[in-house]
Every structure is written in C-alpha cells, then in structure tokens.
Structure 1
Amino acid sequence: MFVSRSQAETQPGEAPVRRLYRILVRDLVLKCLIGIHAHELLAPQRVRINVDMSVLEQAGPLSDDIANVVSYEDVIDGIKVMLAEGHINLVETLAEKIAELCLTDERVETARIRVEKLDVYAEAASVGIEIERGRQ
C-alpha cells in the first residue's frame, strides 16, 4: 500500500502539509543584446543568470518520471529562446520575463531571478538585479 508523503506527515483532522523543493540554475552565462547605450545596441554582451524556483511537490508516491517535476532544461531552453528574440533594454525587463517564464508552470510557487552584466565595469565583477516573484 502506498501512502502519499503529505498524508504520512499529517495527523487525522489536520490539513496536509505543503511540501516544496527548489530547482536551481546557477551561473548560466549567455551572450545577448541588452542595454540602453549605443554600444550595447551593436554588440552582444555576457550576462550571468541565476534562477531559484520553489516548487510544490507532487502528492502521492515519489516517482522517477520527468513529467512529474519542473524541468530545469525547459527553463534554460526558454531563456535561450527569449534572448534570441532580440534586443532588451533593461536587466530588470529580462529578469521579469524570466520570472514569468518560470511561473507558467502551475507547480512553481516562487521564482527568484538574478541577472548580471559581466563586462560593464573593469572595477566590478558584475552589475545587475535580483527579483522574487510569486503567485497572487
């Protein structure tokens, strides 16, 4: 007999415990056209992207099936498609678009996105933004 993980952690009369896990994409470095300055309109520059998603764990027994989890491969492919679509003015805009991409999967509760430009200032390793978005 299989008992769901959420059932196993609750007592009779209690609401099931919501279990979350995290999907991470760390230090994804890609080239893209981003920025508001004239030189940024002409040449791609490196950005580093970090994604941290809190995902609602499925109810029921654990299964070894990719269909039952949020795929980091889909997130990375989606980001690559987004960057190939053309110029983006602001790192803030890119971060928002990535958060929207992550939240298209109903299992994703929150998405924390960091976007950094790597080659803007010789004196700084990077400049960028971090946002966190969730379901309303």
Structure 2
Amino acid sequence: MDLGAERRLADAAQGLRHVFVRGLALDALIGVHRHERAARQPVRIGIDLAVEDDGARPMSRAPVGRDELARVVDYERVAAAARAIVAEGHVMLVETLAERIAEACLSDHRVRIARVTVEKPGALSDANSVGVTIERRRP
C-alpha cells in the first residue's frame, strides 16, 4: 500500500487511526478451476482499517493514554475473523473472500473503512501474485 493511502486511513482531524494486518498467509480452498476445489492453495491477506480514535482530536474529552485493549480494535481478532472465513470452505472468487472479510471487519461499529487485499501467489507461473483489493465504508 502506498504511503498516501495509509495517511488517509489515519487522520487525526477526522478522528481516525489505522489498524492493519499485513501478509496473513493462509491455505484456502479458492478458485474457479476443478483442481482448485480439491486442494488448498496459499493466499496472502492484507487488511487495513480506518478506526474511530476518540483520543486523536485535540479537543477530545476521551482520556488519552488509557492502556486498555477494550478501547481499540484488536488486530488479533481481525486476523482470527479472516482465518475463520477462510476455514468456512470453498470460495470461487478472491473478490468474494475479500468482501466477506471486509463485512466482518465492518461489524465492529468503530471501523469506518475496511480495505482488504487477497492475493494468490501461485496462480500464474510468470507473476509473483494476482489478486484484488476492495474498500468498503460504513454508510
């Protein structure tokens, strides 16, 4: 992800922090071809979230520096949700997998934007990776 895109996800003026999981390596049943339905293949998942950050605004009344897990979106839970979605079974499209992960992330009311990348590193012999990046926003 380019630095400019990261900045848009973390923005003190809008009260946003950037929570991310990069390079989550999983084996998934994914693809449209017959051989992809029978054997797991590696996927790499990246998740970038714009999360409400009450402590970011200068005039915020939220206590700053509270060192409590409950006040933040936990990246371990985000990764666990992605693992669970992959474990549910075969998905034909990387787009569908990305959408399901984004939907799970947006189920936390503090997440305003979910950007999800799903890559299939072995899909083409002459490319490092193929895949998709999607972005979903809370209405």
2:19 is the counterpart of 1:23: yes
Q: Give the distance between the partners of 2:42 and 2:54, measured in 1 at CA.
A: 36
2:75 is the counterpart of 1:85: no
2:78 is the counterpart of 1:75: yes
Aligned partner of 2:42 in structure 1 is 46
Runs of at least 5 residues in structure 2 that lack an aligned partner in the other structure: 1-12, 56-61
Give the aligned CA root-mean-square deviation in angstroms. Answer: 1.0
Q: What SS does the aligned partner of 1:41 have?
A: helix
Q: What SS does the aligned partner of 1:76 have?
A: helix
Shift of 1:67: 0.2
Q: Percent of counterpart pairs with the same letter?
A: 48
Q: Give the distance between the partners of 1:109 and 1:135, measured in 2 at CA.
A: 5
Shift of 1:66: 0.2
Aligned partner of 1:122 in structure 2 is 125
Give the number of the structure whose alpha-carbon radius of gyration is greater.
Answer: 1
Q: What SS does the aligned partner of 2:96 have?
A: helix
Q: Give the distance between the partners of 1:27 and 1:47, measured in 2 at CA.
A: 9
**Residues 48-86 of structure 1, C-alpha deviations (whole Å, 9 max, x = no match):** 100110001135012100000001100111111111111
**What TM-score results when the alignment is normalised by the length of structure 1?**
0.85
Asked if the contact 1:58–1:68 (Cα under 8 Å) also holds between the matched residues in 2, the reply is: no
Shift of 1:19: 1.1
**What TM-score results when the alignment is normalised by the length of structure 2?**
0.83
Aligned partner of 1:66 in structure 2 is 69
Q: Give the distance between the partners of 1:78 and 1:21, measured in 2 at CA.
A: 20
The count of aligned residue pairs is 120
Amino acid in structure 1 at the alignment position of 2:53: E
Q: Give the distance between the partners of 1:42 and 1:115, measured in 2 at CA.
A: 20
Aligned partner of 1:13 in structure 2 is none
Runs of at least 5 residues in structure 1 that lack an aligned partner in the other structure: 1-16
Q: Give the distance between the partners of 1:101 and 1:69, measured in 2 at CA.
A: 16
Amino acid in structure 1 at the alignment position of 2:37: L
